[in-house]
């Protein structure tokens, strides 16, 4: 036996042992009902907004604020302060720099909750905010929230008019999450007379002296941004002088829209911001705290809280369908899951299939409902990425009712094929949701006004469709291949919209292209593989920071298990089964695995809104390394057999 073969066999043996430990660890985490579900964590803005909501629901009496939820608010304060940076600010991803909106929200929350302005922690925070441009530099949603309490001038925050629900289908040109946010927010802004704050409370000290409050404008005159700024002025005039009857009608339509989507869901949109605004809207619409609709909205919102003896934080949403699908696929590829465990998982997932029409049907009215959402319940919003991932997971599982499983899979395949956008790619929730001018409206600075197609979802969908039997010659697959070739970056990578960032996009694009039958000798495949090898860290792993989104290019970070796994999976998909890079990547995963079969990961590798909101998926660190190890072992076995 040659030394090379002996080394390879030793690495394969170590990888096999690591895969078995990882499989056992994941299997031990399966819920009795069949699903997997890890906590989903983000930044301090969720706890800060919670304190704002409590001020809304329990306003000061005689100028003093003494809410009945005081103990929980104090826990939120401690949770926020525990994550304060040395310079006083707050970041939006682990090891990131201070970010202005998160810092402003924290300052408001801490001060209104009773942390004295003279406290050294508050003084450091104040100086940090001023150095970042003051409250004027915060994003529009931060300013809108503060304006509800008279803490930021109403004339200097964007108008969110409820009348937009009356203008054809314009709301469906916004991303699904944006419309779920702005419709209840429009009700709040239209009906709010101005909520009280504790006596003498202001934020004057975090305004940057000499800096104006007006909306930013582009140089010149004929730009979309300048047009929307002018429209905002007209909207403010309309709010003062427009038809009150038309506004009442718009509020009624918005209320109906909101109530319809509160049903069959874990709260409006099943994500934190719409759920918070829905509670505020129901309050202003006159729904008493014990009214069933409002009580349920409040209950769903409070389910997002994670609290224990020494912890308090909010999850931005739940992720059981997503977690379950990825774990099923990883275990299935590893061939390590007992049939009973996979059967229970398949039964649970199939019970979550969407069978009613949601917002997506506005542009696809004749398409039979199918697919899966992300959370425990979110019937109006199945998403394309989850649907593709569930199909990949189901490929390895046999449900109790095989006929029902087959029918469900066929519906999902048909749904995915028909949710392809005209440019050949797939987006998250909608089709052709890419009307670029909407990105310039004043409240679009959450950087997610639209839901355009992206390489990461497109690659995963192509992999799933081909795995479920769609021919490589199918027009949708051919169109998807052209899309991925067209969207490849100059350096050979692909942008990742829903994971950080270029490593994520590249690994999924390569897997999609491989599934579509692309040769590993094609120039675009070779370039991508070379790029992945070029960014490997000295320790054999891969890492990328969320700053890649700010820099619009790959920005290296310390190695993480999830990103190391993505890079290995990308290289394997590119035809690289035995390079030094692949071997060192596998060695890194083997060496960093904990004794219990799991991995540690500090950085956030999930993306909510690029540049604005990031997510830590606590199973990514375990499921993707297992998938990488399993794929490596399959590739190595194929080489030996060949």
Is the pLDDT at 203 greater than 70? The verdict is: yes
Q: What is the pLDDT of residues 565-584, one digit of tens each?
A: 999 999 999 999 999 999 99
Q: What is the pLDDT of residues 391-442, one digit of tens each?
A: 999 999 999 999 999 999 999 999 999 999 999 999 999 999 999 999 888 8
- Location of structure tokens 């969407």: 354
pLDDT of residue 221: 74
pLDDT of residue 3: 47
- Kindly name the residue from 232, 266, 323, 385 that is annotated as catalytic: 385
Cα 350 to Cα 367, 402, 412, 464: the distances in Å are: 19, 11, 11, 16
pLDDT of residue 639: 61
Q: Which residues contact 330 (CB under 8 A, 6 or more apart)?
A: 26, 623, 624, 626, 627, 630
Within a 10 A sphere around the Cβ of 365, how many other Cβ atoms?
Answer: 8
Q: What is the arithmetic mean of pLDDT over 602-617?
A: 96
24 is catalytic: no
- Give me the residues paired with residue 617 across strands: 40
Architecture of the domain whose range is 45-314: Alpha/alpha barrel (1.50)
| Closest alpha carbon to 585 in 626, 624, 525, 539 | 539
Q: Regarding predicted confidence, which is higher, 7 or 202?
A: 202
Predicted TM-score (pTM) of the model is: 0.95
Q: Greatest CA separation found in the chain?
A: 88
pLDDT of residue 2: 44
pLDDT of residue 103: 98
Rg (CA), the chain: 25
Q: What is the pLDDT of residues 165-198, one digit of tens each?
A: 999 999 999 999 999 999 999 999 999 988 999 9
> To the nearest 10°, the Cα dihedral for 43, 44, 45, 49?
140
Q: What is the pLDDT of residues 84-124, one digit of tens each?
A: 999 999 999 999 999 999 999 999 999 999 999 889 999 99
Q: What is the arithmetic mean of pLDDT over 376-405?
A: 97
Task: Give 519: exposed, middle or buried? Use CB within 10 Å, 0-12, 13-18, 19+.
Answer: exposed
Q: Regarding predicted confidence, which is higher, 546 or 442?
A: 546
pLDDT band at 6 (very low <50, low <70, confident <90, very high): low
Tell me how far apart the alpha carbons of residues 287 and 428 are, in angstroms, rounded to a whole number.
33
pLDDT band at 206 (very low <50, low <70, confident <90, very high): very high
Q: Which two tokens stand for residue 152?
A: 């930021």
pLDDT of residue 213: 87
Q: Which residues contact 2 (CB under 8 A, 6 or more apart)?
A: none
Mean pLDDT of the chain: 95
Q: Residue 630: what are its φ and ψ, rounded to 5°?
A: -65, -40
First to last CA, the chain: 17
Is the pLDDT at 229 greater than 60? The verdict is: yes
pLDDT band at 7 (very low <50, low <70, confident <90, very high): low
- Location of structure tokens 């925050």: 157
- Is residue 606 a contact partner of residue 498, using CB atoms and an 8 Å limit? yes
Q: What is the pLDDT of residues 292-308, one digit of tens each?
A: 999 999 999 999 999 98
pLDDT band at 224 (very low <50, low <70, confident <90, very high): confident
Q: What is the pLDDT of residues 150-171, one digit of tens each?
A: 999 999 999 999 999 999 999 9
Q: Which two tokens stand for residue 605?
A: 């590798």
pLDDT band at 239 (very low <50, low <70, confident <90, very high): confident
Q: What is the pLDDT of residues 486-538, one digit of tens each?
A: 999 999 999 999 999 999 999 999 999 999 999 999 999 999 999 999 999 99
């Amino acid at each position: 036996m040659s030394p090379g073969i002996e080394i390879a066999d030793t690495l394969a043996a170590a990888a096999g042992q690591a895969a078995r430990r990882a499989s056992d660890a994941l299997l031990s985490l399966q819920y009795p009902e069949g699903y997997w579900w890890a906590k989903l964590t983000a930044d301090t803005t969720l706890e800060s907004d919670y304190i704002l909501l409590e001020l809304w629901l329990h306003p000061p009496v005689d100028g003093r604020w003494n809410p009945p939820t005081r103990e929980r608010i104090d826990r939120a304060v401690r949770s926020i302060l525990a994550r304060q940076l040395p310079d006083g600010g707050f970041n939006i991803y682990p090891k990131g720099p201070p970010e202005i909106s998160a810092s402003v929200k924290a300052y408001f929350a801490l001060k209104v909750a009773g942390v004295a302005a003279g406290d050294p922690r508050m003084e450091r925070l104040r100086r940090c905010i001023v150095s970042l441009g003051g409250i004027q530099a915060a994003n529009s949603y931060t300013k809108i929230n503060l304006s509800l309490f008279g803490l930021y001038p109403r004339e200097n925050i964007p108008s969110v008019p409820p009348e937009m629900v009356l203008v054809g289908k314009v709301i469906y040109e916004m991303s699904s999450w944006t419309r779920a946010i702005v419709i209840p927010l429009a009700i709040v802004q239209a009906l709010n007379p101005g909520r009280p704050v504790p006596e003498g409370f202001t934020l004057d000290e975090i305004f940057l002296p000499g800096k104006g409050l007006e909306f930013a404008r582009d140089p010149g005159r004929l730009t979309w941004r300048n047009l929307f700024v002018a429209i905002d002025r007209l909207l403010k005039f309309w709010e003062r002088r427009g038809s009150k009857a038309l506004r009442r009608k718009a509020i009624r339509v918005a209320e109906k829209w909101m109530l319809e989507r509160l049903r069959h869901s874990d709260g409006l949109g099943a994500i934190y911001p719409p759920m918070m605004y829905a509670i505020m809207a129901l309050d202003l619409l006159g729904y008493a705290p014990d009214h069933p609709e409002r009580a349920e909205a409040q209950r769903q919102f409070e389910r997002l809280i994670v609290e224990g003896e020494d912890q308090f934080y909010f999850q931005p949403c739940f992720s059981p369908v997503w977690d379950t699908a990825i774990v099923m696929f990883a275990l299935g590829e590893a061939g390590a899951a007992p049939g009973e465990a996979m059967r229970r998982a398949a039964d649970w997932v199939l019970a979550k299939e969407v069978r009613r029409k949601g917002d997506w049907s506005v542009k696809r009215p004749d398409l039979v409902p199918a697919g899966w959402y992300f959370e425990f319940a979110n019937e109006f919003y199945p998403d394309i990425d989850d649907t593709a991932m569930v199909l990949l997971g189901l490929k390895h599982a046999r449900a109790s009712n095989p006929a029902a499983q087959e029918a469900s899979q066929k519906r999902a395949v048909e749904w995915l094929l028909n949710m392809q956008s005209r440019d050949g790619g797939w987006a998250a929730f909608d089709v052709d949701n890419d009307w670029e001018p909407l990105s310039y409206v004043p409240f679009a600075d959450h950087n997610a006004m639209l839901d355009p197609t992206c390489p990461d979802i497109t690659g995963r969908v192509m992999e799933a469709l081909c795995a479920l039997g769609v021919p490589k010659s199918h027009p949708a697959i051919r169109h998807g291949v052209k899309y991925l070739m067209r969207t490849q970056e100059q350096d050979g990578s692909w942008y990742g919209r829903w994971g950080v960032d270029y490593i994520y996009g590249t690994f999924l694009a390569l897997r999609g292209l491989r599934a579509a039958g692309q040769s590993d000798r094609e120039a675009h495949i070779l370039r991508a593989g070379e790029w992945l090898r070029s960014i490997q860290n000295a320790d054999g792993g891969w890492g990328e920071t969320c700053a890649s989104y700010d820099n619009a290019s790959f920005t290296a970070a310390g190695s993480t298990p999830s990103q190391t796994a993505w890079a290995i999976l990308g290289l394997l998909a590119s035809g690289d089964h035995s390079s030094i890079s692949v071997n060192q990547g596998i060695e890194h995963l083997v060496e960093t695995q904990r004794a219990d079969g799991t991995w540690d990961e500090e950085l956030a590798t999930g993306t909510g809104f690029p540049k604005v909101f990031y997510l830590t998926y606590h199973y990514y660190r375990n499921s993707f390394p297992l998938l990488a190890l399993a794929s490596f072992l399959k590739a190595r076995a194929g080489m030996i057999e060949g």
